[in-house]
Each structure stands twice: as C-alpha cells, then as structure tokens.
Amino acid sequence: MKISVLGSGCASCKKLYELVVKIVKDEKIDAEVEYSDDVIKIVELGLIHSPVLVVDGKPVDLKSNSEKDVKEAICEKMSMESDSKHCSCGGCC
C-alpha cells in the first residue's frame, strides 16, 4: 500500500503527514508513506484544496484531519481492498 499526503508545504499539510506516519506505525500497517508539496499532483487529481490524503493513487475524502477520522479513512480503504477478514491494518478495520 502507498499512502501520500499532498500539500503546499503549510503547517496543516505537514501535520497530516506526521499523523499518517504515526497511524501507520502505531497500527503496524504495511505501507509506504510519502509527502509531496508538488501542487501539480493535486491539480492532476482534479482537486483545488490541500492537504490531500491519497491511498494507492486515489484521493480519500476526510471528514476532518483528526487522528480518528484519518485512521478510519485509511482502514476503510484497506478493508475495501482486502479479500479476507484479516487484513494488514493491525485490527483497526
């Protein structure tokens, strides 16, 4: 799994990236996490806001940037892509 945070370099964008790294570590999620401040990537996704959470190339609609909402969004994406009841999300889905 590849998780990206796309942003403009602002504090909110960096905070979301740090939160994603924490969630991946805490939940033992097998994922590569990256941060990009290339706003062209955001535009290519058809979006005009930042930060953007992207999982496996698809933007994720977040209710908020809270730890709970980000964790739920990542785990939901994982459970949608997993064929078994025991995915690699560390039991959060």
What domains can be seen in the chain, in order of their start residue? 2-81 (3.40.30.10)
Better-scored residue on pLDDT, 32 or 77: 32
pLDDT of residue 90: 53
Integer Cα distance of 35 and 53 in angstroms: 10
Confidence of residue 84 (pLDDT cuts 50, 70, 90): very low
The predicted model gives 40-59 an average pLDDT of: 93
Query: Is pLDDT above 90 for 47?
Result: yes
Write down the H helix ranges in 27-66: 39-44
Q: What mean pLDDT value characterizes the chain?
A: 88
Better-scored residue on pLDDT, 90 or 29: 29
pTM metric for this prediction: 0.83
Integer Cα distance of 12 and 7 in angstroms: 8
